[in-house]
Structure 1
């Protein structure tokens, strides 16, 4: 009993911050900008008194949108739909002639139920609904006209948030996780087959039983990042420099396609880096790139059939820009790029963009096997 009581008191201790100070400064600047714009425009369009009565819910919305932009409460539909629906309910109850206490209690219940049902829960919207129910005589005289300043403030907030958050490298609204399978099959991506599935995540959320103030996609991203860090810790510091091939074959953009085909065939390669005069990486050519740029004759495929492309240079068919890594890229990141991204090879470049190595799926499999052997019990 004593231990339970101590644990209960410990729950009142503030949780540790998981955001650096620069993130709070960024959010504070965004809130200050939108509040200044809201006050200045509101004074001119709707008057000082009405603007000041609506500024508190607007400030609460701004905190969510700039300081907690990953929250479901802060997404555009939650802000706009939540504020307007809640205000509409508040106005309707305010004009219904009910006693203030009854109208207030009923308002909160109806707003919460409607916002949950419409998937636009936004706590400041509840504050707006209460302002409409028990606000000043000026608010009541406006009636449904109160929707205009609420809609204006919400749209202004969203416009500033879309511009400011994205300019400061905070994607808003939060993008959905890509589900594209490059092979166009119903199989999960290779990196997800031994991991948790979307169904596992849904079941865990149902078992948790409470509202989680993070979007489902962001929760999935967080769990996948946790898996990556755990795997990196267990694997040690194995980087691209440890497993890449250094004795490379490459060509320049002015190399003819026939010569590139011969190099790939002679050395049993599937891809060939294309470099500039200073050995800087400028493109990459694969077997698929070569094969889809000529029309074979009936019969067996041979080098002789490539004469249709005589005079064609690699600059005309190479892929650019190239997805590449640096020598200190951890093997966990290489696994993701060479499996889920569907890449067969990865050029390794230095800080100046010069080609220093290549990593293929074969190199990665061999490195994973050696790492597995290293961790086998004696």
Structure 2
């Protein structure tokens, strides 16, 4: 019974990190504090005008705890609160019974917000405040729409814009670009299937369809990685790869790239630990021409290196190499390694052992081939069981 109660009444919310929880709480603290202080400074501490209304607390939960929600976007808070305030003031003025006026105000506000695409749950409290807020609120009349509702909403929105973007969030939230209606998302699932499924629910679901599609795509990737865990980078690594030192002349680095027919060569120290990589793009993007058959660094690149090192560049690999490059462990699964390289836009990556020393490089196409082979093997292993079950059903 307790389990059924929990499943029905306790929501299953995705777990977030402690840092994210602290960021949400800190945002609400700063947002409401700044909104209240600015509002008080505008009207004065002894003014009869309300400074901060209670529904702003509910708006703060959305703007700082779930800023990606469609219900927390700028038009939602501004449009929803203003529409609700207009409806609430009108209901209070024309309906004598306060309970009836409050119920009508909230219901009409919901209908209008859904029609205008600015549904914002705290706006229901705004409509009710306009009716039940007491003489101070009723005396404001339609002025209640501008102050405090409009001013509070705008100030809180400005705080949310500043805080969320300064702390690494994208706000207003830009949903993942939805796929074309007929575009496959993996297996036989398409964007049109997602839209059809959402339409069948016939209720407001608090997630953007583009975000939902992105979640499903990532889930499909994780499922593929889970099925492709047999082959590791160590089994696919090219151990004959030659590494170069950071003081290698650029001309020799280019010769090594051509000789190995590679897009990348690892750069290591004397202990074979990876310091970075040098790629064809490094040479092409960070040089502007040739001088005595050696790539010549651009003027801006030379100045930057001089300021960084306190000496002039010498036309060596250290002048153009990419540091902090992706390195893979030899026990990393092929599917996981392919995903990491795809995210970083790499075709090849260094593979290191447990001691951090270079073993060789691995090619993305080799990883993808091994991943597909592992998935096929996994499906084949389960196929006989499924076939026997089907045969029993037929018999």
Q: Which digits, 9 at most, give the CA deviation of each residue in 1:185-215, with x for residues without a partner?
A: xx979xx454733333222212232211122
1:272 is paired with a residue whose SS is strand
Q: Note if 1:310 corresponds to 2:304.
A: no
Q: Note if 1:35 corresponds to 2:32.
A: yes
Q: How does 1:29-178 map to 2 (within 5 A)?
A: 29-46=26-43, 50-51=49-50, 54-95=52-93, 97-100=94-97, 103-146=101-144, 147-166=146-165, 169-177=168-176
1:203: which partner in 2? 196
Q: Which stretch has the larger CA shift, 223-232 or 8-17?
A: 8-17
Given that residues 244 and 267 in structure 2 are in contact (C-alpha distance below 8 angstroms), is that contact kept between their aligned partners in structure 1?
yes
Distance 2:372 2:222 in 1: 20
Given that residues 82 and 122 in structure 1 are in contact (C-alpha distance below 8 angstroms), is that contact kept between their aligned partners in structure 2?
yes
What TM-score, normalized by structure 2, do the two folds share? Answer: 0.70
Distance 2:138 2:260 in 1: 82
The offset of 1:263, in angstroms, is: 2.3
Distance 1:352 1:148 in 2: 65
Q: Which stretch has the larger CA shift, 228-237 or 273-282?
A: 273-282
Distance 1:288 1:368 in 2: 29
Q: How does 1:324-363 map to 2 (within 5 A)?
A: 324-327=326-329, 330-339=333-342, 342-348=345-351, 357-363=360-366
2:213 is paired with a residue whose SS is helix
Given that residues 275 and 323 in structure 2 are in contact (C-alpha distance below 8 angstroms), is that contact kept between their aligned partners in structure 1?
no
The offset of 1:60, in angstroms, is: 0.8
Q: Which runs of 5+ in 2 are unaligned?
A: 297-314, 385-395
Q: Which digits, 9 at most, give the CA deviation of each residue in 1:19-47, with x for residues without a partner?
A: 25835454334333333344444444345
Q: Which digits, 9 at most, give the CA deviation of each residue in 1:99-132, with x for residues without a partner?
A: 4566444433442233223322111112112222
Distance 1:111 1:350, change over 3 A: farther
Given that residues 27 and 67 in structure 1 are in contact (C-alpha distance below 8 angstroms), is that contact kept between their aligned partners in structure 2?
yes
Distance 2:352 2:158 in 1: 40
The offset of 1:283, in angstroms, is: 4.0
Given that residues 31 and 66 in structure 1 are in contact (C-alpha distance below 8 angstroms), is that contact kept between their aligned partners in structure 2?
yes
Distance 1:352 1:51 in 2: 65
Q: Which runs of 5+ in 1 are unaligned?
A: 181-186, 296-305
Q: Which stretch has the larger CA shift, 278-287 or 119-128?
A: 278-287
Distance 1:50 1:287, change over 3 A: closer
Distance 1:366 1:235, change over 3 A: closer
The offset of 1:72, in angstroms, is: 1.6
Distance 1:250 1:42, change over 3 A: same
Distance 1:267 1:12, change over 3 A: closer
2:243 is paired with a residue whose SS is coil
Distance 1:349 1:151, change over 3 A: farther
The offset of 1:58, in angstroms, is: 0.7
1:281: which partner in 2? 275
Given that residues 257 and 309 in structure 1 are in contact (C-alpha distance below 8 angstroms), is that contact kept between their aligned partners in structure 2?
no
Q: Number of residue pairs matched? A: 355
Given that residues 42 and 51 in structure 1 are in contact (C-alpha distance below 8 angstroms), is that contact kept between their aligned partners in structure 2?
no
Distance 1:368 1:176 in 2: 30
Distance 1:65 1:325, change over 3 A: farther
Could you say what the CA RMSD is over the residues aligned between the two structures, in angstroms? 4.3
Partner residue of 1:18 out of 10, 14, 17: 14
